[in-house]
Amino acid sequence: MSTRHVVRDTLVTLLAADTTSFNTVNGYAPLETFGATKILNVYSKQTAHEFLSNDLNYAFYQYSLDFLAKRDNTTAAEDAIDAAAESIRSIMRANVSNVNWSNVQLESESEPYFATISGVPYRCERHSVKVKVIA
């Protein structure tokens, strides 16, 4: 059985392998970005449980994947969120199931937005991931 923590760590490890799209991948939402250029934050959202029998139970863990691209140049930041979205989709597709979960999928629509963190402007996009594990 994989816990929510184990699944989050696995997501971080898989996503951190893409050093082109992401300079930093965190297993939490940091309070400070220190001006980093391409940051992906993975953090827990919701958990649901399904009890089908004494022997068959599932947990559904949801995570936010928040990508932040520093806005030194508007076009470069927009290109970075586009590349990050493709990378996230590709990594999720390549890891639909593994030893830590029976299914992973991107949920609903992504949410692009703008943010300023510690005075640094970012172009951001939030992706929702749902992971099904045998509990």
Tell me the three state secondary structure of residue 15.
Answer: helix
Q: In what order do the strands lie in the sheet with 103-117?
A: 24-26, 38-51, 57-70, 120-134, 103-117
The mean pLDDT value for 18-40 works out to 93
Average pLDDT of span 41-58: 90
Q: How far apart are CA 32 and CA 117, in angstroms?
A: 7
Cβ pair 33, 110 in contact under 8 A: no
Judged on CB neighbours under 10 Å (0-12, 13-18, 19+), 72 is exposed
What is the per-residue pLDDT across 102-120, written as a single tens digit (0 to 9) for each? 999 999 899 999 999 989 9
What tokens appear for 49 in the block?
A: 């449980």
- Complete domains list, the chain, with CATH: 4-134 (3.30.2000.30)
Q: How confident is the model at residue 6 (pLDDT cuts 50, 70, 90)?
A: very high
Lookup: tokens for 12 = 């971080």
Q: pLDDT digit string (tens) for 118-134?
A: 899 999 999 999 999 98
Q: What angle do CA 33, 35, 39 make, to 5 degrees?
A: 55
